[in-house]
Chains A and B, each alone.
Chain A
Amino acid sequence: MALEIRGLRVSYNIEGRGIEVVRGLDLDINKGECVGLVGESGCGKSTVGLAITRLIPERKGSITAGNILLGDKDVLTLGPDGLRDVRRSKVSYVFQDPFSSLNPVFTVYDQLKEALPDKRNADEIISGTLESVGLSGIIGNKKIYPHELSGGMQQRVMIAMAIMPNPGLLILDEPTTALDVTVQNQILDLVARLKDEMKLSVLFISHDLRTVFRISDRVFVMYAGKIVEKGLKQNISLKPGHPYTVGLMDSMPSFERRKQKFNAIEGRAPLFSELPKGCKFYPRCKFRVDDCALREPGMEIVSGEDHVSRCIRIKEIALDGISKS
């Protein structure tokens, strides 16, 4: 197992109160696997990504419970040296906006070199990495600055920087959201290829179901700070097991379902400070019954051990039929 998160809880200080935004989250990534974590803005998915190497700023919030096992170590018990080692060479990040992640006053080459833990043979490693992310064109030129590259190329530089230390785990937080659709696919294909070549484990965080389905082996759907459904990509995309996932899939615009009204999810995501009792999706759910409001459901099996959903009604409702109705 490349990463195992158990019972993770994170609280943010909002107006003097501690408000829990990750409420007991379990997530695991196998070696060489790409896991997609999908959810809408404010569901806590980016916080999960940051928590993995304890990057949540102390004044903003803190991890209050759980384990984050990276190999045989629990990141939450590491001292400063261990943590630095994890951040430097075990886990790498790629964020949404490549331009603000790059320093505009240094050349791309200098920044790549900076990211290298061991500076011996820097030239060789950098040119090799640039070639593998499809930037062989700029290898010869050490004087290129970030603003001279397109958004897609900048994101490739960020990926190059992330894979250079040869990390076990690569965390991508909305890496394609700022890019054009055509460029998005190139980046996704690049990540998929690197994953295979380098046996990388990847956590792909996004609100965009299309990109998540395109790249992930397994998908975790997050709502209001908890996983509400997890399973193999093909299982979820064919037979979503949670009304929220169904709603998201029905919200995807496409030519095939043209001129039909979207079967949109009503209302808006609840604020963490005023979460409903019981199932957190209950107030917006089309299939709700009174029982849903009583207590938060546990994980129920949808189709086999590895496809589970936090919904008490999956047995009664053939959810797969609903999206087509």
Chain B
Amino acid sequence: MELVKVNNLRKVFPKHKVTAVDGVSFSVNEGEVVGLVGESGCGKSTLGRSIIRLIHAEEGNVFYKGEDLLKLPRRKMRSMRRHLQMIFQDPYTSLDPRVRIGDILEEVFIIHENFSRGERRRKAEEALETVGLGASYLNRLPSDISGGERQRIGIARALATDPEFIICDEPVSSLDLSVQAQILNLLTDIQKRKNLAYLFISHDLGVIGAICDRVMVMNAGRLVETGTCENIFKDPKHEYTKRLLDAVR
């Protein structure tokens, strides 16, 4: 079933006169992992952020279960956010450096639930366990832990609201190879267990090929080719796709 449908989305940065996203349409089904690949500056991050209204897009629609997110009033959008989450690229900048891990996770429940203090703590511990960390992390600051552990916290935060759709914006590209494999394993496990849908943004076709069902190739603000992973990797049609593929072979 279709979960998220993006229709003719367009984002222009007027200051630089750049059309970062130029009329993009696609859809993501329930429980599907869709890869979005392109080189830096192609607009893939802007697209991801526009979908969940972290960046304001000028034109287009984003339907989540039939409801147009871009037309929702701010207050309704805020409560809607629990269903659509995001994991960020840089684990060093995506956690508030002054807030303890436990408080970072509890904040999600303060915003969306009406839990007591004890319940929140317990939920935060549960969230840590989902990503393979223990309660000992609750009182630590982001600066006390490694990049891979931080990225796990980022994932725990995104999962805390029990979303159905997660935008993963280059979640492993700033990690070491061995940590990258651990995080990809974790993301895949969780996806299967909770039947989540991912929009997985990456510049690395290797990563995309390893975990995605479908791939969309983006260049200069447009989707130049989309297809199943098999089709794209075995029989690329567009010149740009071929170039990207050559680069990882």
Which residues from chain A sit less than 8 Å from chain B, CB to CB?
40-41, 151, 180-185, 207-210, 247-248, 250-266, 268
Contact = CB atoms under 8 A, between A and B. Distances in A.
Contacts of A258: 209-211, 229
Interface in B166-216: 176-182, 184-185, 188, 203-207, 209-211
A151 B203 CA distance: 15
A181 B177 contact: no
Contact of B206 (A182, A255, A261): A255
A207 B39 contact: no
B243 interface: yes
Contacts of B207: 253
A181 B205 contact: yes
B181 A250 contact: yes
B233 interface: yes
Contact of B177 (A185, A248, A257, A266): A248
Contact of A181 (B148, B229, B244): B244
B247 A185 contact: yes
Secondary structure of the A side of the interface? loop
B40 A180 contact: yes
16 contacts: A151-B40, A180-B203, A181-B248, A185-B246, A210-B248, A248-B177, A252-B177, A252-B206, A253-B207, A253-B209, A253-B211, A254-B209, A255-B205, A255-B229, A257-B210, A263-B181
Given A253-B209, A257-B210, 16 more contacts: A41-B147, A180-B39, A181-B244, A182-B39, A182-B243, A182-B247, A207-B176, A207-B177, A210-B206, A251-B180, A253-B180, A253-B210, A253-B211, A255-B210, A262-B185, A268-B149
B146 interface: yes
A268 B180 contact: no
Given A255-B205, A255-B229, A262-B185, A182 B244 contact: yes
A265 B184 CA distance: 12
Given A180-B39, A180-B40, A181-B204, A251 B181 contact: yes
B202 to A, nearest CB: 9
A49 B170 CA distance: 29
Contacts of A248: 177-178
A196 B178 CA distance: 33
Nearest to A207: B176
A256 B249 CA distance: 11
A251 B178 contact: yes
Given A180-B40, A254-B209, A255-B229, A264 B247 contact: no
Contacts of B179: 40, 268
Interface in B141-173: 146-149
Contacts of B205: 181, 255
